[in-house]
Homo-oligomer: A and B are copies of this chain.
Amino acid sequence: MATGRTHRPATRSRGIPEATVARLPLYLRALTALSERSVPTVSSEELATAAGVNSAKLRKDFSYLGSYGTRGVGYDVEYLVYQISRELGLTQDWPVVIVGIGNLGAALANYGGFASRGFRVAALIDADPAMAGKPVAGLPVRHTDELEAIISDNGVSIGVIATPAGAAQQVCDRLVAAGVTSILNFAPTVLSVPEGVDVRKVDLSIELQILAFHEQRKAGEENTPSPVPPRSGAAVRAAAENRKGPDGDVPAVMPA
């Protein structure tokens, strides 16, 4: 990595670990709840419990932001809410576009958590001309033709893709060409983007498959004598040759 490394003398060097960044929203949510209950201060232990992490991790995370706590006391809730909000960039507002207003896109448009916390739905975009003009979540759906204009008119830098998998890459390309540099992808495809563009993926079926893996594991522990019979290299090859698995024909596995 050849980042110009801002040579700061003694103070905290920029560069918060990615894992920490991913937890800041969690802390922020917990802190916001405390703030609403007018709790003035909170210890790392209490806050960690509320956020579902352990206290050492939380303290280390906060230490990357600066020394915002008070030894012997804890953290000032309001102050921390502000610091984390600022660190995450939530003190400014981010216009976002949602592309693909099917069931999921509509659900996202209606999702309340979207509007709060500095995010604002600037436009809903769909390729279906029949959708154009229809109001969804109080906004008229715009046609894909307008995509570039919408992005630049609103200074949109974050795009949400909720199209079918087949359309995702080309929508992505258009978003990027129009100036979007952060993408949240709900379509079950790998998107390729140029350097400098961030993509985050939310994939229902991947999550379910991960759960199924562990679920199967649990079931196996209870009643299987040997969880999976280990197979020798020879057996493996043989099975590969005649398209057979250890327990019968290879089943037709469904496409994504």
Residue of B whose beta carbon sits closest to that of A186: B204
Is A79 in contact with B208, judged by CB distance below 8 angstroms? no
List of B residues within 8 angstroms of A216 by Cβ: 88-89, 92
Residue of B whose beta carbon sits closest to that of A85: B253
Is B207 in contact with A211, judged by CB distance below 8 angstroms? no
List of B residues within 8 angstroms of A255 by Cβ: 32-33, 36, 116
CB contact between A8 and one of B107, B200, B218, B230 (< 8 Å): that residue: B230
Interface size on A, residues (CB 8 A): 100
CB contact between A52 and one of B192, B210, B228, B256 (< 8 Å): that residue: B192
Which residues of A in the span 49-84 have a Cβ within 8 Å of any Cβ on B?
A: 50-52, 66-68, 70, 76, 78-79, 81-83
The verdict on A90 contacting chain B, using a C-beta distance below 8 Å, is yes
Which residues of A in the span 220-256 have a Cβ within 8 Å of any Cβ on B?
A: 227-228, 230-231, 233, 236-237, 239-240, 243, 245, 250-251, 253-256
CB contact between A212 and one of B94, B116, B212, B218 (< 8 Å): that residue: B94
Residue of B whose beta carbon sits closest to that of A206: B25
Is A213 in contact with B24, judged by CB distance below 8 angstroms? yes
Is A25 in contact with B209, judged by CB distance below 8 angstroms? yes
